[in-house]
Amino acid sequence: MSEDFDKAMDELQASVIEDARKIYSEKVIERWLNPKYMGEMENPQGYGKVTGTCGDTVQIFLRADNNKIIDARFITDGCATTIAAGCMACELAMGKPLKEAFKITKDIILEELGGLPEESIHCALLASDTLKAALNDYIQSKNDPWRKLYKKHDGEGKMQGLV
Ligand code: FES
């Protein structure tokens, strides 16, 4: 019984992935199924949280050294393409000087992902907007170290950003 269920689930998953391959590039599929940069970060130096017009949210966490990004992570409650776009935003930011990271736009994310269907383009915008919010937070926290003391938590131990 359980073996039948597992087999049915595997078949369902394979068919969902097969359907997705007809719509999305291999780079999107790769990052959706194996989002290397997905995850929360404790005590990030920069944090951004943006909710898009579709109602989905992306959060990005950054750490930098010598004005160069040394770690970037994201989480989202959004769709497959948001996972891919959030992952790509972090991937592109890694190792970049802050100034260069600010230049990571929706279009660059789209290009690196091999494009997205028209209806998913806003997912790349959400990722680039969130990256910018995290970069701005990093700069503000660096300029005004006292702001770190005022980081809020949402009751689940997750940081909400500045008061
Ligand atoms: Fe909401 Fe992708 S559909 S971010």
Query: Over the stretch 120-129, which tens digit does the pLDDT of each residue have?
Result: 999 999 999 9
CATH number (domain holding residue 11): 3.90.1010.10
Rounded to whole angstroms, what are the CA distances from 163 to 51, 143, 149, 154? 17, 16, 10, 12
Task: Tell me: pLDDT of 147 over 80.
Answer: no
Hey, whose CA ends up nearest to atom 3 of ligand 1?
79
Q: Is residue 157 part of a domain?
A: no
Q: Is residue 107 part of a domain?
A: yes
**Number of compact structural domains in the chain:** 1
Q: Is residue 158 part of a domain?
A: no
What is the tens place of the pLDDT at every residue in 81-101? 999 999 999 999 999 999 999
43-50 average pLDDT score:
96
79 lines ligand 1 (CB under 6 A): yes
Q: Is residue 102 part of a domain?
A: yes
Residue 142: per-residue pLDDT: 84
Q: Is residue 123 part of a domain?
A: yes
Question: Model pTM greater than 0.95?
Answer: no
Percentage of residues in the chain having pLDDT higher than 90: 77
Percentage of residues in the chain having pLDDT higher than 70: 88
54 lines ligand 1 (CB under 6 A): yes
100-121 average pLDDT score:
97
To the nearest whole number, what is the mean pLDDT of the chain?
90
139 lines ligand 1 (CB under 6 A): no
Residue 156: per-residue pLDDT: 46
Q: Is residue 156 part of a domain?
A: no
Contacting residues for 53 by C-beta, under 8 A, at least 6 apart: 122
Hey, whose CA ends up nearest to atom 4 of ligand 1?
123
Q: Is residue 163 part of a domain?
A: no
| Domain containing residue 95 | 2-149
Is 79 annotated in the active site? no
27-37 average pLDDT score:
96
Q: Is residue 159 part of a domain?
A: no
